[in-house]
């Protein structure tokens, strides 16, 4: 059901005219999400969307709103938002200029290729996933400041004041958050050897104030970016990490820089897609999949029909196989982007597919490219009233990252080191395998699947989207674009529609539970597809904005979380 409410008072600073759509609590899709004429933010939390919007109402642009939204997520969504994480931003300015910012975490200087192998040569996943050794050098503050310095228009004090106020005033725990805190309390207590703010019992409706984070943010406002990378906060962070058994030094923090990158840009029919380049695999994998499926008449097959699932699955299988072999940090490995995304290579890749039988992953290797021998996340989309659009995905990797919480600073630290390939062929927490291209090395960035994406249609901004979900991010973004483009869904319907996923290995198609027809699943089984409907795992949590034909914006806030669109 479509439910719009007029916001009377979320926080005294918000205008009465702002409309928000309350997060849907059922799986029933409204026909349209929130519609707004000028500007919009869609993020994992209502307060974060509202603060980003407020900054734009004060005259700020999407890049000012990025800093505000990002930091407000650090306050209200500690599951994935944090000063201790990293991410990627893709932008398209009003004049059509596009670009991408990489503020992914880096391996510390003292990291070594085999640092997670035990005496028998097996990967010790406890070390790569939990506690201080799992932490990569955080990039979120560098990223927010870099984007703001280049494109922002309001002073940092003005952008961050509402966030500091929110951290002091507190945010209200949602029912989903209560469940999540309960689910991870034991691990938080174990890793921190003590109780921490988020390991206390917080029930839905309680208010959590994070005064430590407010103080950290106040110091950042006063001293700028260097507060986090060389100032008092840096020193406190390094002492804390070292006391907790970590290897990150002040030098690591001082050396950290966000990096501007060329985004991956490609066409799909009459769309132009602009997505994240390495060290994320998102853009290249999305380009490969979309180019492989482009020749097939998807509309004729029908949404989520057997044939549709087969074509996407087979293209995904082939793209994820290539990912495992060729993709890594472009500052360390040469990536054959041109060859991997060329139409000729990709159409050849689908040559051995037919509708009678699944291609077993065991019989499918990464493609051969001459000259190239083997060698918890959150997304938000913002569009401002000036015509700029951004897509931003940031992460701590696992839920609450490494679970290590810097109580004095008020944030969790990531466990991004697990995104490296700790040992060739051994899966990471998302079941992804990799090799030399994604091996650990000092200062290297670990390969990501994050896929912040912008889409142009007829040379105009059309859609901004992205998702959390580890390896399922790429396929969630893919299906959301197709849902609108091929199947005429509204943005909200496209985000809410049931999803499926394949990633080469393990050789199984993941389906959202109880969302697909049994006859279709049986048909796929009969062709040799391994169906996994049992894992009650959500596949992505997409937040998106669509420009409608009349120029207004439609938000798609995923019903799978507390995600909310705010616009004016």
Q: Which of the 8 DSSP states describes residue 434? A: -
- Residue 449 marked in a binding site: yes
- Residue 397 marked in a binding site: yes
Residues from 454 through 493 that contact ligand DON (CB under 6 A): 468-470, 473
Q: Does 277 bind ligand DON (CB under 6 A)?
A: no
Minimum distance between the CB of residue 281 and ligand DON, rounded to whole angstroms? 8
Give the nearer residue to ligand DON in terms of CB position, either 60 or 136. Answer: 136
Query: Among the options 69, 337, 341, 377, which is catalytic?
Result: 377
- Residue 267 marked in a binding site: no
- Dihedral angle of Cα 65, 267, 103, 473, to the nearest 10 degrees: 90
Minimum distance between the CB of residue 430 and ligand DON, rounded to whole angstroms? 7
- Residue 329 marked in a binding site: no
Q: Which of the 8 DSSP states describes residue 541? A: -
How far apart are alpha carbons 368 and 358 in whole angstroms? Answer: 21
Residues from 375 through 434 that contact ligand DON (CB under 6 A): 376-377, 395, 397, 416, 419
Give the nearer residue to ligand DON in terms of CB position, either 306 or 449. Answer: 449
Long-range (24+ apart) CB contacts under 8 A made by 507-512 are 507/317, 507/360, 507/361, 507/362, 508/532, 509/309, 509/313, 510/472, 510/535, 510/537, 510/539, 512/538, 512/539
Residue 271's Cβ-count burial label (10 Å; 0-12, 13-18, 19+) is middle
Asked about 125 being catalytic, the answer comes back as: no
Asked if 476 and 491 touch (Cβ cutoff 8 Å), the reply is: no
- Residue 451 marked in a binding site: no
CB atoms within 10 A of CB 534: 9
Locate the DSSP E strands across 226-348: 259-261, 264-268, 271-275
Give the strand pairing for 264-268 and 509-511: unpaired
Q: Where does 58-155 have alpha helices with state H? A: 62-76, 125-129, 140-151
How far apart are alpha carbons 17 and 8 in whole angstroms? Answer: 8
Q: How many residues bind ligand DON (CB under 6 A)?
A: 13
Q: Does 328 bind ligand DON (CB under 6 A)?
A: no
Give the nearer residue to ligand DON in terms of CB position, either 36 or 539. Answer: 539
- Residue 419 marked in a binding site: yes
Give the nearer residue to ligand DON in terms of CB position, either 20 or 539. Answer: 539
Q: Which stretch binds ligand DON (CB under 6 A): 54-62, 191-199, 318-326, 447-455?
A: 447-455
Q: Does 450 bind ligand DON (CB under 6 A)?
A: yes
Residues from 125 through 164 that contact ligand DON (CB under 6 A): none
Minimum distance between the CB of residue 399 and ligand DON, rounded to whole angstroms? 7
Give the nearer residue to ligand DON in terms of CB position, either 450 or 544. Answer: 450
Minimum distance between the CB of residue 441 and ligand DON, rounded to whole angstroms? 17
Using CB under 6 A, list all residues that contact ligand DON: 376-377, 395, 397, 416, 419, 448-450, 468-470, 473
Catalytic residue list: 377
Residues of the binding site: 104, 395-397, 419, 448-449, 470
């Amino acid at each position: 059901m479509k439910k719009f409410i007029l916001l009377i008072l979320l926080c005294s600073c918000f205008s009465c005219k702002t409309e928000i759509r309350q997060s849907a609590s059922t799986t029933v899709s409204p026909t349209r999400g929130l519609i707004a004429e000028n500007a919009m933010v869609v993020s994992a939390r209502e307060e974060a969307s509202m603060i980003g919007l407020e900054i734009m109402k004060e005259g700020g642009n999407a890049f000012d709103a990025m800093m505000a939204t990002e930091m407000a997520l650090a306050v209200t969504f500690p599951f994935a938002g944090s000063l201790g994480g990293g991410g990627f931003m893709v932008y398209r300015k009003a004049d059509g200029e596009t670009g991408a910012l990489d503020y992914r975490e880096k391996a510390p200087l003292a990291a070594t290729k085999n640092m997670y192998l035990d005496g028998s040569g097996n990967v010790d996943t406890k070390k790569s996933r939990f506690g201080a050794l799992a932490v990569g050098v955080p990039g979120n503050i560098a990223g927010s400041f870099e984007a703001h310095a280049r494109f922002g228009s309001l002073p940092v004090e003005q952008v961050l004041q509402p966030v500091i106020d929110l951290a002091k005033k507190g945010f209200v725990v949602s029912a989903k958050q209560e469940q999540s805190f309960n689910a991870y309390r034991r691990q938080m207590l174990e890793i921190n050897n003590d109780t921490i703010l988020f390991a206390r019992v917080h029930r839905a409706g309680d208010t959590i104030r994070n005064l430590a984070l407010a103080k950290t943010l106040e110091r950042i406002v006063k001293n700028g970016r260097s507060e986090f990378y060389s100032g008092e906060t840096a020193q406190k962070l390094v002492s804390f990490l070292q006391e907790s058994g970590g290897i990150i030094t002040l030098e690591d923090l001082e050396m950290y820089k966000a990096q501007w990158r060329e985004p991956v840009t490609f066409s799909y029919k009459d769309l132009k897609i602009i997505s994240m380049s390495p060290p994320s695999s998102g853009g290249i994998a999305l380009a490969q999949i979309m180019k492989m499926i482009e020749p097939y008449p998807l509309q004729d097959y029908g949404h989520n029909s057997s044939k549709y699932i087969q074509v996407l699955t087979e293209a995904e299988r082939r793209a994820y196989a290539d990912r495992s072999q060729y993709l890594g940090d472009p500052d360390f490995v040469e990536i054959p982007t041109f060859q991997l995304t060329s139409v000729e290579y990709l159409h050849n890749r689908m040559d051995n597919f037919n509708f009678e039988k699944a291609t077993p992953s065991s019989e499918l290797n990464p493609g051969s490219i001459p000259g190239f021998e083997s060698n918890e996340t959150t997304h938000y989309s913002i569009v401002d009233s000036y015509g700029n659009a951004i897509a931003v995905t940031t992460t701590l990797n696992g839920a609450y990252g490494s679970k290590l919480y810097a109580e004095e600073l008020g944030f969790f630290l990531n466990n991004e080191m697990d995104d490296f390939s700790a040992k060739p062929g051994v899966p990471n927490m998302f079941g992804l395998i990799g090799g030399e291209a994604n091996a650990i090395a000092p200062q290297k960035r670990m390969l990501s699947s994050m896929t912040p994406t912008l889409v142009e249609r007829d040379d105009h901004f059309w859609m901004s989207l992205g998702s959390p979900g580890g390896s399922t991010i790429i396929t969630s973004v893919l299906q959301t674009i197709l849902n609108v483009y091929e199947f005429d869904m509204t943005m909200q319907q496209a985000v809410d529609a049931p999803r499926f996923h394949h990633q080469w290995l393990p050789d199984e198609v993941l389906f959202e539970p109880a969302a697909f027809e049994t006859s279709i699943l049986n048909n796929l089984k009969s062709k040799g597809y391994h169906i996994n409907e049992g894992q009650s795992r959500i596949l992505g949590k997409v937040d998106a904005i669509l420009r409608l034909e009349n120029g207004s914006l439609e938000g798609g806030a995923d019903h799978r979380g507390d995600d909310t669109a705010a616009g004016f």
